[in-house]
Structure 1
Amino acid sequence: MASISIGNELKDGFKETNNWVTNNINFLGDIEQFYQQRSLLEKEYATKLNALTAEFLSKKANKTTSISVGDSPKVTPGSLESATMVTWNEVLTRTEEISRSHGVFANELSSKVVDQITSLKTSLNHHKSKLEGYHNSSLLKSKEDFTGMVNKAKKHYDDTCQAMETARAKAEKSSKYEKKLNEKKTEMNIAKNQYLLTVNVANRLKDKFYYQDLPEILDLFQDLNEFKTKRLNTILNNASILETKKNERDSALLQQIKQTVQGNDYKLDTQMFIKHNAETWKEPQDFYYVPSSIWHEDDTFVVENSELLELKKVLKLALQEDQQFGSKVEQSKESLASLAQKKTSYKSQTDAEFELKKSLDILSTYLLSLSALIADENRKVKAQVEVETIENNVQGDIDLNVDNLTVSTKKAGFFDKLRGSSKRKSVVTDNNSDLSPFHNDDGDSQSIISGSQHSVKSSSTSHHGFRISSLLRSKSVHSTNSTIHSTVLQGTALYAYQAQGSDEASMTPGEIFSVGQTDDGSGWTLIHKSSGEEGLVPTSYLSIESVNDTSSTPGKKKGPAVPKPRGSGKKHIKVTYPYTAEDEGELSIYENETLELVEADDGSGWTKGRNENGQIGLSNLKNSVTLQSSHNNTAILFTKVSLLRIIQEQTCLNDTQRHLQLLVQLLWVLDGTEMGIDDEVVVIGDHRPSLSGPTLSQDDRFGTVFVQFASEVDISRRNNFNWDTFGPLNSKILRLLSVIGNQDEALRGVSDQFLLE
């Protein structure tokens, strides 16, 4: 039988198809109820059994139309019934002739038929809910997005036209507004170009939505209903077999039921539904350029100097994004082609061979891959349309050279996070221009700087007249199935993980998702969720396998250690006192804020640092505490502490005084010079760098530490010191310092730092 597709035949038919599938799934409740009641009535034999079959024949008559052709068919079916309804009618009719039963048969009927129908109905409802959820939350949102995108671009364009008109009116009255007029004209032209780009992108996304994305979802509903038919056939066959064993005298009647069920091909219901719901469908009107009522009346691009520069920046990013997502889209298409072939192979199996779980697993994997493809292909389509539109509309001798520009990345700024956006922005700048950067909020931040020379003229055919190769379908009414086989990497969360950064993703045990990029040795893997969310997660928290593999979902348990954060080894500064920037180039800082150290204080009292939002500037950090992190050691620089004052004030603590005096003596020994009591102390933690002799004793509370004089001295001058004796003693001193710190304001910050480390 020829391949059929609801998605190709019924354009924009989500509501009708969803209702039809819902009716078919709910109809399983009738079959379930029938066999459940029959298992009880079998003991009461012929009389009540006859009444039961009559009742369900009546129900079937009332639901034949909705089950066969949906709630609102375009053509009434008359007396025609779907293949499933014909099969069901045969079951009921033959059941009317059965008037004898046994208790054993009643028990078998309950366990081998009723429970299976219940399980089937539950599974189908679960997968139908997933399809509805994706349609309502993702597909419709994408449709609303490109519609809103056009409206927003149109409004911005109209606003700039109005501003231009206002500036023109002022310029006519006074020449001092001439510069302002030129600026407003440039802004208006840029807005117009962006509006034209948006219209073209929205049209292409609209085509993709109606001819590709939505039909795929409709086909998944079709698959779900056809899988239902396959499994229902098996259950009905089992019921017939049980009856055959129960009563040989009724074997002839039951054999007729079995034969009818075997003739219930999974495509027959779909064919009847399409035939009675097909109608002439009119495609929604394309978006088109609407000229402003006060400025411009044509749809041509403005390609003067400033406007052309902005178009070239758009072209540069679009070319890169087209290349970036092109390979991802092709891989996803190959993967989906393989999954589609598996779906077809499952349908071609005999009813006895058919396995519902594997079939539904394929549907889940297909939906997961499809969601990732739709998102990537939308990005690719947008980039291709931008390239095509710019190259087709910038004609003549205008040079579209963009290869003297290269791309770099930049994180989102502080105010982006305040607005709730964790994405990175694309920022395009031109070293040869003093115009403001071009921003693209769709992906990673990118800025264009000077690079190699390679011309791209408007006559280039690399992107001119392109056609977007769709996944398995085009605008034609027939689907095209790829035969390419590919392996999809699928990840399962072994443990719960909570994202700790904007580029990470949270997951729960047993959650399934596609793997976007495998571990490159950093300990992190990029994942894509069916909701469209993506991010990095620890590789040790995952089980990664191909779609052909099966694995059990482990119970909830504690995961292994999370790999070290990316970007470790940088120096950081913890701010003790706030500072407000007074000049350009300075950076405001706040109490307890942590900064990345960019350039240390050179003696001027100023330190250059980077805050968590990526802003860099000079700040007065003279009294701040510096934390220097690396893989093997940690250094804590304390502000000046008067050890002499502490000794004098803590006279009641004889041990305290004695140990602090020992500390000062040790500092003298280490440095080999006299040391003033008020000199600052440096405590360096974890390991003693570049020193010979035994490793220092480990301290459970503070780790292994050693103390040196604050001034830089030659490390070799300390090599002869007895570290075996010094280690435990120093550990005691540190404990003592923490005790004193809780009582003395001068050391409170010191003890807090040790407790933190």
Structure 2
Amino acid sequence: MEEAPPNFGAELKDAFKPVNTWVASSISWMSDVEEFFRERSLIEKEYSSKLAQLAKRYFEKKAKKTASLSVGDTPLMTPGSLESASMTTWNSLITTTEIVSQEHDKLANDMVSKCADTLKVLSSRYDAFRIQHERFEKRLTSERDAQYSELRKSKAAYDSTCKELETKRVKVDKAFDHGRPKAQKSYDTQMVEMHNVKNTYLISLSVTNAWKEKYYHSDIPDVLVSLQDLNETRVQAMNTVWKLSSTMESDSLIRCSDHMKALAAEIDRNLPHLDSLMFIAHNQPQNGWQEPPDFFFEPSPIWHDTDEIVVDTMAKVWLQNKIAKSQTGLYSLRQEVEKRQKDVESMRMKREKARGSSEAAGGRTTTEEMDILRNLLSGQEELASVDSKRVALEVEVDTVRQACGDIDKNAHTHKFKATSFKLPTSCDLCKDRIWGLSSKGMTCKDCGFNCHVNCEMKVAANCPGPLDKTAKKALKDVRKSSAAGMSIDRLSELPSANGSSHGLGLNRSNTVTSVSTISTTTANTSTASAATPTLVSPLERAGTVKAATNNPAPTPVATSSPKPPTRRVLAPPPTKYIAELPAGDVKPSGPKAKMLYGYTATNDGEISVGEGKEIVVVEPDVGGWTKVRNGMAEGLVPSAYIEMSSGSASTSTPVELDSRRISVISGEKKKGPVVAPKRGAKKLVHVQAVYDYKARTGDEFDMAEGDKFVLIADDDGNGWAEVEKNGVKKMVPANYIERV
């Protein structure tokens, strides 16, 4: 049974440095062989010269003694020939010496031109080819170390985020009631950020392990096999030179032919892979090669956590976008990898064919074979680069799917592109201003969704698809109205007549906020409101800061400035219910209504009522809350949660009614709308203009001195107040008005 040839990639694994050193030493050793042939050529030259001088000297001596030695000094008859048989033989011997001198001179010249010069050229080529392997290995190692560095950065970012999260948690614990909601919201936001950073760390962990496995099991073994091919090709070339020198010496030195044949036989037995086997035998570890262990999740010393990917709602949105980005380039990378693998395999077949031709030609290395080896290495280098990217994307996708399943199955990812906004624009996700003119934001090419660059990965994959300008404008209006409690995610799923997203022309809810509510809100309310979309003024989305800068107001008469209201107090979702008396035991007295959503009381004076319950309105809505009776219990519920029965006056605002209609159309489970309830304020606050003012934007009112308005939100520090007139809410300079 024929012995299987050795394979550096399978046997040595991570041994590039010793293999490279060994191959470099072998190539360097070729210069010693070259010097040997040059010195041998000098010896042959010297020997040839001495033989020629010797033959010439003895030809001269022979000429003087030929007659004497042939016939004597005093012959009786002149011989017909001046040479005797012995002299003829001697002449032949001297002539043969002269011919041998010429053979040695020819051998000396051939040793320089056919052996020494050939070895010099081959040594230079092989060393240049070896250096190409060295550059390839350095690039692979650099890419691997860069990935290791990315993993360390991800770990450091994770630790830093966890530390910041712990700091914010401590602030929540130490915060007073009036500051607790803000601290809680900051904590929740940091929690989301920590989850995203953690997921990045875990994904980077998987990618690094995959990259490591590919490096040790694919990339480096391929380089080692190529180095092995280089060395074995070098050995074959050395054999060729040695055999040539042996043949030349055998032809010129017939009397030494037996020795030259023995040398040729020894050369024939020097198979190219015998050196490789010996090297393997002296370099292979006794206990076998041990692969470096995989990287594993290291919990932060501050935030103790597990190695499970976070799969809550916010994290799933981020993961969904992450997997979508990975899937985008994965298909093309797989095709490119397949194509390059075929090219590499084709070049390997050509290499085997060229090697067979070389053996058939007496072991002579051809230029074609060297070109094939060079092209094969280049193909492997390109394949390794593309395949590393494919492995990274596949591991990202597999890691997310193992944790979350096929979360991208019905996803419709937004097609974002970098955008520079010339006008003040608000992020449709976080509602904050997108500042800067140099690609500071992103815009969906299909539906026109605008967001910060940092918000791109947090946008839910619910793009309605390509829309025309009319549909995009309608959807933009809907997103603006989301500040009043509507969900953008549900609005974008509503079909329109032309199949695009349904856009409703909604206005802001007329629910009013109050400072008294936030001061009495419990921790449960804060937690619930943090999970609900917040209310944002249209002024904040229309560039109020710029307007305030361009319209400086005159210094008004000194007036008392009330504490600015908080516009982010939201009604909490139902979490618990209280016992109720049967409806039949209660005698209603007042308009009847029905609970559209279940509500759980969180403060004194409120009442818990289940979804669909029939209730009696005791006091109508004044500031976003309605006093009702459920059985024998009376208390307040959000006005947006109830619907008046037929024949009774409706307390629902247009936005609330549209929100209910949208819930029915979309078929989603009904949820309580976002409300901004005003507790403890039964009367509206009226203000009047003390100066004339000309509006600069569509979000501002024109004012004449003496005009009256209803105050919705006082100045919160930006110099503007929100007021209402004839059901329309807009902004005016805060120091242009006073309370009446």
Instruction: Calculate the TM-score normalised by the size of structure 2.
Output: 0.49
Structure (1 or 2) with the larger CA radius of gyration:
2
Instruction: Calculate the TM-score normalised by the size of structure 1.
Output: 0.48
